[in-house]
Structure formats: C-alpha cells, structure tokens
C-alpha cells in the first residue's frame, strides 16, 4: 500500500512545493533537499510522510515522524522543523487540517473509548502509529485528490473516517479530553484560539486565566504543559510567525507589520524577529512555492 501511495504521489507532484487539492482539508508537498531547523506554525493539523522524515522541536520537546507514524497538532503551536530529504529520495508529505467541532461531534455521537495507557503526555502535539485502517484511508484520499467530482462527493466522509481512526489511536488522550469543556485541555485550547485570532491584543496572563475561571498559577502550569511554552513565550512566537507570514506573502513594510502584530516599537520588533528567525524582517520570503493540482 505504501508503494502504491508513493507511486501516485510521484506522478501527481513534479516540483518542490505545497499543492492545494480538490479536498479543501488536504495539502500535499514535496521537498528535495535536507533543511536546517526552521520555524513554522502548526495549527489543527495531522501530518503524514510517505518518504523521508521530519524532526521537530517544540521548545525542548523533540518529536519525529516517518512513514510509520503521523503527527497530530491539536492546537496552534510554534514549532522548529528539520526535514531529511534528497533529490534521490525526496520528502513526500500530506497535511490534513481539521475542525475541532468534528472531533467533538465524533466523540459525542460514537462510542470511541479513551486509550487505556495511563503514561501519556499532556502536550497538545503527539505522534501515533499508522495502522492498516489509516493507511487504507490515506490511499483512498490520494486516489481522488486530483479528481474534482470524486473529492466533492467523497472528501468530507474520508476526512471524518480518518479522524475517527485517529481518535482510536494509543496516544489520542488529549483529543478525548477536549470533549469535557471544563477540562484543563479544553480551557487552554480556547485560550490558544483567542490568542491566535487576536494576537495583536496585549493580553495578560491574569486576563486569560480569568476568562477560563482558573488561578494564575494553574493557568500558567497547564498552559506550559500543553504548549511547552510559557504564555509570554507563546504570544511572542505567535506574533513573530504572523509577522513573517505578512511580510513574505503580502509585501508589507517592517513598521506596518510591527504595529499589526502588536509591537509598539519597530526596532524591538526587528531585533526579536532576527533573533527568532536568524535573519532580519526585510529578508523574509516564502520558502516553498504553492501550486494547485
């Protein structure tokens, strides 16, 4: 099955870059060179690779995924990535975005048992093994992503089936805990969404904790467990990633972007941007081209 998927991808994807497909939630991509660590913002994504591998660093937490496992980013998280690929063996990957409402719906309407394993991480990003069922769904997705009518009729159902299988995974505790709206996972998840959509606002830890009826100490503790960042670190990285995206894709000037992402001082913004990305704001550019199948 893996070889069939890879053969299909080699025919679909000719150049390095990201490829939009006829299934809105699915993007494919190819990289033919090994990269050094680079910063990227993961959202509500499930990531698969069919050749090559990626290593990721979430602050001090190391994660890896290959053709044998997949990565679930169930929150908006700033992550450092390193891709291992070559011209002879390019990296072929798939990113599937998902809506947490679909997760809630599945957990509510279907009896999916929570994993028994008690030794699990509280972190909002986890990797799990690819089962035969998941591999079969991936193959069916790959078969139709370049077919408009098939994708329109079958795409949503395939994504829902995939999420159902992911919720059955051994490491899916975090997703299960989201169904309880008063759980710490759900509270921090709502705070992350608020920060992500209103990143320019000067939120304090006190305000964020109060919105979720948590003490400052409890909020800070659970926030760091789930994101591997303190609230202050997280907000700063969200702003810088948003800024990099605005500059590289919209050609906005540095002063304009600094204000848009919540900085009052453009000089301070430029200094923190260079420290985080390794280059000044004016040198920000899109790393991979974007195509459509």
- Name the nearest CA neighbour of 38 among 84, 80, 86: 80
CATH architecture classification, 184-283: Orthogonal Bundle (1.10)
Which residues face 92 on adjacent strands? Answer: 30, 51
Provide the residue-wise pLDDT of the chain in tens; the chain has 293 residues: 678 898 999 999 999 999 999 999 999 999 999 988 788 888 889 999 999 989 888 877 788 888 899 999 887 888 888 999 999 999 999 999 998 888 888 888 777 766 666 555 567 788 899 999 999 999 999 999 999 999 999 999 999 999 999 999 888 888 888 878 888 888 998 999 899 888 888 889 999 999 999 999 999 999 998 888 899 999 999 999 889 888 887 777 888 899 999 998 889 999 999 998 888 988 887 767 888 88
DSSP three-state, residue 92:
strand
Cβ–Cβ under 8 Å, residues 64 and 32:
no
Q: How many helices (H) and strands (E) does the chain have?
A: 11, 11
Would you kindly state where each structural domain of the chain is located, as residue ranges? 2-177, 184-283
Measured distance CA(72)–CA(31) in Å, rounded: 20
Q: What is the pLDDT of residue 29?
A: 93
Q: What is the pLDDT of residue 38?
A: 83
Question: Rounded to two decimals, what is the model's pTM?
Answer: 0.84
- Cβ neighbours for 285, distance < 8 A, ≥ 6 positions apart: 248
**Which CATH number is associated with domain 2-177?**
2.60.120.280
Cβ–Cβ under 8 Å, residues 106 and 163:
yes
Dihedral angle, C-alpha 176, 181, 182, 183, nearest 10 ° = 20
Which residues face 31 on adjacent strands? Answer: 91
> pLDDT over 90 for what percent of the chain?
48
Q: What is the pLDDT of residue 124?
A: 75
Q: What is the pLDDT of residue 119?
A: 52
């Amino acid at each position: 099955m893996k070889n069939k998927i890879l053969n299909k991808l080699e025919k679909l994807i000719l150049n390095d870059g990201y490829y939009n497909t006829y299934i809105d939630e699915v993007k494919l991509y190819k990289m033919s060179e090994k990269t050094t660590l680079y910063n990227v913002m993961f959202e509500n994504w499930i990531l698969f690779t069919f050749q090559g591998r990626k290593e990721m660093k979430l602050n001090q937490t190391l994660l890896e995924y290959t053709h044998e496992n997949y990565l679930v980013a169930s929150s908006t998280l700033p992550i450092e990535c390193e891709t291992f690929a070559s011209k002879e063996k390019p990296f072929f990957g798939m990113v599937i975005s998902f809506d947490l409402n679909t997760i809630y719906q599945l957990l509510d309407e279907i009896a999916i048992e929570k994993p028994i394993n008690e030794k699990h991480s509280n972190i909002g990003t986890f990797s799990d093994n690819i089962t035969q069922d998941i591999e079969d769904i991936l193959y069916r997705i790959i078969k139709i992503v370049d077919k408009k009518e098939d994708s329109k009729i079958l795409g949503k159902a395939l994504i829902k089936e995939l999420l159902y299988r992911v919720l059955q995974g051994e490491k899916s505790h975090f997703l299960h805990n989201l169904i309880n709206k008063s759980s710490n996972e759900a509270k921090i998840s709502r705070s992350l969404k608020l920060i992500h959509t209103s990143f320019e606002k000067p939120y304090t830890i006190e305000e964020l904790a109060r919105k979720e009826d948590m003490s400052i100490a409890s909020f800070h503790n659970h926030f760091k467990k789930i994101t591997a960042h303190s609230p202050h670190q997280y907000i700063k990285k969200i702003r810088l990633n948003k800024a990099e995206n605005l500059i590289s894709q919209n050609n906005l000037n540095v002063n304009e972007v600094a204000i848009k992402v919540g900085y009052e001082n453009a000089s301070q913004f430029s200094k923190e941007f260079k420290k985080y990305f390794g280059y000044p704001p004016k040198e920000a550019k899109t790393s991979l081209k974007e195509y459509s199948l």
